[in-house]
Structure 1
Amino acid sequence: MPKRDRSKRTDPTAVMVRIVVADDGTLTVSVDGAPYLPPEFSPPWRRASFPAIVDAISQQTGRTLRVDVIETDGRTITDFYTPRTPRKAEPQTSAAESSVQAASAAEPAPAPRLMQFAGSGMIPGEEVAVAIIIAHAESGPDGIARTLIDSRYLEHSPTGEAVLLGRISATVCVGQPQ
């Protein structure tokens, strides 16, 4: 029986990210106990910054993140994020393929046909996923999330329905955009 190759060991510990939500919707972020601040001259972190914060920390550390979000009412939401694997490079195209692609790129795309979809019950300012996840929206101060969806996406859905998913509240709204 062959022995395991132990030369490529990875650090099994997760990076601890703590995000505290203030009453005004700003976030205080720490990584392994050290403050993690927004870039210089940038506004304070807000709920909508959450994906950018997690992505940046994940890229910087290259390790699994344990993220604890402490809400204003004291609830703690914990999630784990694993680093993304790098995408494979695009295959090289020939000159003929490049000219065909350039010609098709020159044709104007049809204008989108937008439809609105709204759902309530979200935490004010939270990020809301729109499924088939084609975009993210942020709920307003009233907890209502609104998004515009290109109706061409709905042509691929047998029911013509869309889903809004509150990433923090776990609120799910299913309906037909109008």
Structure 2
Amino acid sequence: MRRHATQPEPEHAPVSMRTVILDIHLDGSMAVTIDGTPYLPPDDAAPWSRASFPQIIDHASEERTVPVRVEVHEVDGTSFTELLPARPPRPAPASEPTPKRKKQVPPALVEVTGEGFVPGEDVACCLIVSHTDATPHGAARAVLDPKQVKGAGEVMLVGRISGTVVTRSLS
């Protein structure tokens, strides 16, 4: 058999709980006391009513940081009691680590240029994977995805109006 050593009582913070008493009147208004002290509605506000319950509880519980015992005394003599616990404190928002951004690599494109086209004309890019327009100075530029020209050795730019053909090597 083992003997238990006496351990000192743990130190606890004193428990504090507010008491709210709601006395309901015949007209539906309420008289409110918090810890025995009358709690009156704001000067220009209507008397407390059941709709005021959340506002009263928030005030008495210091925005739900203190537990509250609520007693409701009805006109017919019935009453009930409810205990509303305090909400656990919300943790401070943790500073989220800045996500590491991947360095954006511009797409590797193949550019093919040529001159001698009619300004604004439609220029075909042969292997014909796309079309482009000539600039106001008669130049054409096609930017192609390397997947489109994989295996091709040359690309042709063909002016649909001028008939200009420019051949460029891809290597």
Range into which the TM-score falls when normalised by the shorter chain:
0.3 to 0.5
Whose helix proportion is higher, 1 or 2?
1
Choose 1 or 2 for highest CA Rg.
2
